[in-house]
Every structure is written in C-alpha cells, then in structure tokens.
Structure 1
C-alpha cells in the first residue's frame, strides 16, 4: 500500500515537520544516530537501512554505527550523544524516569535542542510505524 499517495496531504505534513529539523541547531550526525537507534528499537529494516546509509554519507565511523545498540557502554560516543540516545530509547520504549533523563539531557542541550531531539524521536517513531505496517518488504 503506497500510503504516501493514498494520504498525500497528511503525509506531506509529517515530511514538512521532518524537513524543518534541517533548520535545527542539532548536528546532522546526532540526528542520524537518533533516527537509526529508534529504527533499530522498532525493528524497521527499511528505516535501519536508510539511516545507516545516511550515517555513512555523513562520515560517521563504521565502528560507531556498528556499536550503536550498545552505545551506553561504548567509548565511541560522547556524553551528550549518550544522553540523547538514552532519551530516544526512553521515549521509544515509553519507559524510564523522564524527569531524571530530561535533567541529564539539559546538561548538554538547550531547550530548543531538547525539543528538536524529542520531535526527531517522535517523527521517527511515526515513520517507523508507517513503514512497518504499510510496506510489503
């Protein structure tokens, strides 16, 4: 089912929100890591492939990409990246202490960046669910 054509107007709003993140102060490589990690958690093979390729194009180290699922115990990730990825996991799995995680996140990111990280996570969860439920592959 080609949901992008069937509900073109609605989908275009989602993509417009996604494209607006290009104007965010967030680094492109952080957004790519977040998108890939959320897609890994959700098990969206299509999105994992897409965001892995994007990460490679952005010059993210292959070892970093390969250890993304174990970021918390890896020395390849900065403390800021780890906090953003913890936030992504918590919002995707709907678990964890959001207040504590938000406090830790605010040590590294501005309010605008936290909002944009959260939007990035939320949109990626939406796109994963659409791709998983509407694709044949």
Structure 2
C-alpha cells in the first residue's frame, strides 16, 4: 500500500505530528501505568482500523516486556482472564470513548465509575487524554493510508 501523503514531509503535518508526539511523551511520564497506556493505544487502533498504529503499539508493548498472550487477547479482552480489573476498566473506557457515535451520550456513567474505582484523578486525566490522542493519531494515519509492518520500537520516542 502506498501512502496518499507523507504528512511528515509537509510543514503543517510535520508541525502537528511534532506536537502530538510531545503530548504522547508527556503522557508517557504520567502516573498511568505504561502497560495500560499501550493497551489503550492498541485497542483504539484496532477499533479504528489503523494498521500502522496497531503495528507500532504492539511492537512498543512487546519491546517494553508485554507478553504475547496479552497482546493477542486485547481484541477479545472481555473473554480473557489475563487483564486486571483496572485494565479492563480502561479497555471499556477506550472502547466507549472511541465509539462515541455508537451510543447516545457517549461514555456511560457505569464505565466512568468503574474507571474511577481503579484510577485516581491524575491517572483518569491521563487516560482520557491518551484515548483522545491515540484517536487523533489513528485518524491521521488512516486518512493518509500510512502502511503497517515496518515500524521499529523507539522510532518516535
């Protein structure tokens, strides 16, 4: 697959990408666990059909020590026994936050309350920002058809 546009070679795309990477780096330093951050990025990318981001974040997660079993079960997390209660709450929140148009009112009070049981206010803020940020990255990559498969861990850190 050939990309429609190399965003990074344009001023507007390069500037936006730099800002998004800076935001991502700030979130990486947040109190939200790194494993949860990667699970959120992978699940949103799966939902959005962003092969580039699925490739990137599964490789980053594996590079950080995430197990192949957990990586392989993210799409089926509801049936899997390998995720903690906190991770399951984050995965539910990312699904609802990514599929805003699927339900009137967006994220349910139940999903929010479940996440709030597991994460403090700083972690919740980071989780919400991570969901919004990965959705922005997904949309950019899907629109311009960034190809998947060649990402190397640490490339955009």
CA deviation after TM superposition for structure 1 residue 4, in Å: 2.3
Q: Deviations over 1:105-132 (max 9, x none)?
A: 1100001111101111111010011001
Using the alignment, how far apart are the partners of 1:136 and 1:29 within structure 2? 25
Q: CA offsets, 1:1-54, max 9 Å, x none?
A: 121232122332222111111220011111111101110011111111111111
Structure with greater helix percent: 1
- Pairwise CA RMSD of aligned residues? 1.4
CA distance in 1, matches of 2:86, 2:146: 37
C-alpha displacement of 1:61: 1.2
Q: Which has the higher contact order (CA 8 A, sep 6+)?
A: 2
Partner of 2:111: 101
Give the structure-1-normalised TM-score.
0.93
Contact 2:62 2:68 in 1 (8 A): yes
* Stretches of 4+ aligned residues off by more than 3 angstroms: none
Which digits, 9 at most, give the CA deviation of each residue in 1:80-104, with x for residues without a partner? 0000000000000113642221111
Cα deviation, residue 136, structure 1: 5.2
Aligned to 1:91: 97
Gaps of 5+ in 2: 148-157
Please say if residues 50 and 142 of structure 2, whose CA atoms lie closer than 8 Å, have aligned partners that are also in contact: yes
Normalised TM-score (structure 2) = 0.82
Query: 1:5 matched to which residue of 2?
Result: 9
The answer to whether residue 51 in structure 2 is matched with residue 41 in structure 1 is no
- Work out whether 1:128 is the aligned partner of 2:138: yes
**Does residue 118 of the first structure (1) align with residue 124 of the second (2)?**
no
